[in-house]
């Protein structure tokens, strides 16, 4: 069951007394609204001081619950997310970006598996599965539009190697900027840096993760690519500024959605630029292989050493 909250978890290590002092400045109406956001009743609160105490208790309980590893929904910088964390003050932030036409729930199992069954779950981690901003249909979202007819034409006329040649949708730049703002907000709330961030994505989400990993001012701690592709030609030049960046890549040799040739081009490009990339292939299609999660867990542990 997902825990829901409209408020952000307190990440500033404030004492209970300071929290209650701040709550005392709020109106009775605001205090009741806060209680409602936590699904806590105000029944029995006769004085304002009773409301302040109950809100403080609710905030404390919510912080503890959110650090239990259970998934909960939250909104970060305008993005709907499914998050899970093992500590109130995580030391590693893992962002997961879903594929074209999917949603955050589709990849939430990755975070759950890593935290419940992986060794990384014993560390202070936070996994954020972000929902893309462009709604296509009900429960179907994209990071930016894709002209599937055009891509199919390129596939048959130019071949898989030239599949992504040409200009990219203008929405891509906007999405990249918005996701950068999401990460910046999280980093500020948890008092961390990009060196504490791992970017992960599947299919179109992996293109976003790759672009962010190569284009942001500071390099992330690592990059995980599930069924990726050489989506942007400029990545070749950008990758030269990320020499030594740890990358874990997976791709099915029978993938007909994103041809294996595209994965090879991406791998050769990143490897040639000096990134520390580990490439795992499997006899399958456009999916995440069963061994990907334990290998991802091992990769994340290596980053935390």
Q: Which of 105-119, 160-174, 191-205, 240-254 has the lowest mean pLDDT?
A: 160-174
- Among 49-63, 141-155, 215-229, the range scoring the smallest mean pLDDT is 49-63
Average model confidence (pLDDT) across the chain: 90
Locate the DSSP E strands across 122-245. Answer: 125-130, 134-137, 140-142, 197-202, 222-226
- pLDDT at residue 18 in the model: 52
Q: Angle between the 28-37 and 48-66 helix axes, to the nearest 10 degrees?
A: 30
What pLDDT is recorded for position 19?
65
Q: What is the mean pLDDT of residues 47-64?
A: 83
Strands (E) in 100-188, as ranges, are 125-130, 134-137, 140-142
Sign for the CA dihedral angle at 247, 248, 252, 256 comes to negative
pLDDT of residue 230: 96
pLDDT at residue number 201: 98
How many Å apart are CA 94 and CA 111, to the nearest integer?
9
User: Predicted confidence band at 65 (pLDDT cuts at 50, 70, 90)?
Assistant: low
CB 72 within 8 A of CB 82: yes
pLDDT category of residue 11 using cuts at 50, 70 and 90 = very low
* Distance of alpha carbon 1 from alpha carbon 131, whole angstroms: 18
């Amino acid at each position: 069951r997902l825990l829901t909250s409209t408020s952000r978890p307190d990440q500033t290590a404030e004492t209970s007394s300071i929290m209650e002092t701040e709550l005392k400045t709020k109106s009775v109406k605001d205090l009741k609204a806060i209680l409602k956001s936590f699904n806590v009743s105000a029944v029995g609160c006769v004085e304002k001081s009773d409301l302040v105490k109950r809100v403080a208790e609710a905030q404390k309980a919510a912080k503890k619950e959110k650090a239990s590893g259970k998934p909960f929904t939250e909104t970060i910088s305008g993005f709907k997310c499914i998050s899970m964390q093992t500590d109130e003050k995580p030391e590693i932030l893992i962002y997961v970006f879903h594929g074209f036409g999917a949603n955050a729930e589709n990849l939430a199992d990755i975070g759950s598996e890593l935290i419940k069954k992986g060794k990384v779950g014993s560390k202070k981690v936070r996994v954020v599965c972000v929902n893309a901003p462009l709604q296509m249909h009900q429960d179907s979202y994209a990071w930016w539009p894709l002209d599937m007819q055009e891509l199919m034409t390129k596939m048959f006329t130019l071949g898989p190697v030239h599949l992504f040649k040409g200009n990219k949708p203008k929405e891509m730049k906007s999405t990249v900027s918005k996701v950068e703002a999401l990460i910046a907000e999280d980093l500020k709330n948890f008092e961390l840096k990009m060196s504490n961030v791992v970017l992960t994505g599947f299919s179109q989400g992996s293109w976003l993760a790759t672009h962010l990993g190569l284009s942001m001012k500071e390099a992330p701690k690592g990059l995980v690519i599930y069924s990726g592709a050489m989506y942007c030609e400029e990545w070749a030049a950008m990758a030269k500024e990320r020499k030594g960046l740890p990358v874990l890549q997976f791709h099915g040799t029978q993938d007909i959605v994103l041809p294996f040739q595209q994965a090879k081009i991406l791998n050769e490009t990143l490897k040639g630029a000096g990134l520390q990339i580990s490439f795992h292939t499997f006899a399958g299609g456009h999916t995440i292989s069963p061994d990907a999660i334990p290998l991802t867990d091992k990769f994340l542990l290596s980053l935390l050493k």
